[in-house]
C-alpha cells in the first residue's frame, strides 16, 4: 500500500509543548533491565493494529541484542499498575536521539494518555546534556491521532516521502499473542475513504 512517511524533529528542549497531566494514577519510568519478553509484548500490544511487522520474526537473542545496543532505552507508562504504553529511543553520536517506537496499548487509547506519554518521552530524550536533536518518523498507516499529537507536542515535519509499505494483512498478523483475535482497526484504505 502506498503511504506517506513523515519525519518530525525538535532541535531544542524549549520546543516541547507539554500535555496536561492525566486524570488517572500513572507512573513513567525507564525499564533498566533488558527483557526480550517484555519488549516483545509491548511491541505487539502497541503496534499490531498499526502494521508494525519488521520484528515479527525476531528470536529471543535478536531482541536481546537490540535491547543491549549502546544508547537504546525503553520507557514505559504504567496506569494503575498496568503497562499502558511505551517508547524505545536510541541515543546516537553527536547528540541525535531517535524515538524508534512509540504508542499506547489499545485499551488505554482515548483516555488522554498519549500526549502525556509523548511529553515525558521528549523530556527524557532531552534530559542528558549534549542532546542536540530529537526526531521520529511516522506514516499514514499509524493511528489517526499520532501526527496531530506529535505536532501538538512541538515536533515539526522536516521531510515527507511516499513509500510502499507491505502490510501485515499480506501475511500473518502480529498480535499480542497467537490467536488473540482482537478486532482489527479500520484498514488504512477505509480510514482514508471516511476522511
What are the domain boundaries of the chain? 2-194
Q: Taking the CA atoms of the chain, what radius of gyration do you get in angstroms?
A: 16
Dig out the grid coordinates for 110 from the structure: 482515548
pLDDT, one tens digit per residue, over 135-167 is 999 988 778 889 999 999 999 999 999 977 766
Q: Which CATH architecture has domain 2-194?
A: 3-Layer(aba) Sandwich (3.40)
Give the Cα separation of 11 and 57 in Å (integer).
Answer: 35
Dig out the grid coordinates for 89 from the structure: 529511543
pLDDT, one tens digit per residue, over 27-69 is 999 999 999 999 999 998 888 777 777 788 889 999 999 999 9
Amino acid at each position: 500500500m502506498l503511504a506517506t512517511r513523515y519525519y518530525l524533529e525538535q532541535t531544542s528542549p524549549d520546543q516541547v509543548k507539554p500535555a496536561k497531566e492525566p486524570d488517572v494514577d500513572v507512573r513513567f519510568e525507564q525499564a533498566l533491565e533488558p527483557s526480550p519478553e517484555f519488549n516483545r509484548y509491548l511491541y505487539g500490544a502497541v503496534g499490531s493494529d498499526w502494521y508494525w511487522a519488521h520484528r515479527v520474526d525476531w528470536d529471543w537473542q535478536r531482541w536481546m541484542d537490540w535491547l543491549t545496543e549502546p544508547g537504546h532505552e525503553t520507557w514505559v507508562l504504567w496506569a494503575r499498575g498496568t503497562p499502558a504504553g511505551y517508547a524505545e529511543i536510541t541515543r546516537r553520536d553527536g547528540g541525535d536521539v531517535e524515538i524508534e517506537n512509540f504508542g499506547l496499548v489499545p485499551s488505554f487509547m482515548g483516555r488522554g494518555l498519549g500526549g502525556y506519554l509523548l511529553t515525558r518521552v521528549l523530556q527524557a530524550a532531552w534530559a542528558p546534556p549534549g542532546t542536540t536533536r530529537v526526531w521520529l518518523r511516522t506514516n499514514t498507516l499509524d493511528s489517526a491521532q499520532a501526527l496531530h499529537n506529535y505536532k501538538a507536542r512541538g515536533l515539526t515535519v522536516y521531510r515527507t516521502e511516499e513509500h510502499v509499505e507491505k502490510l501485515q494483512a499480506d501475511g500473518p498478523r502480529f498480535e499480542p499473542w497467537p490467536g488473540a483475535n482482537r478486532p482489527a482497526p479500520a484498514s488504512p484504505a477505509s480510514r482514508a475513504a471516511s476522511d
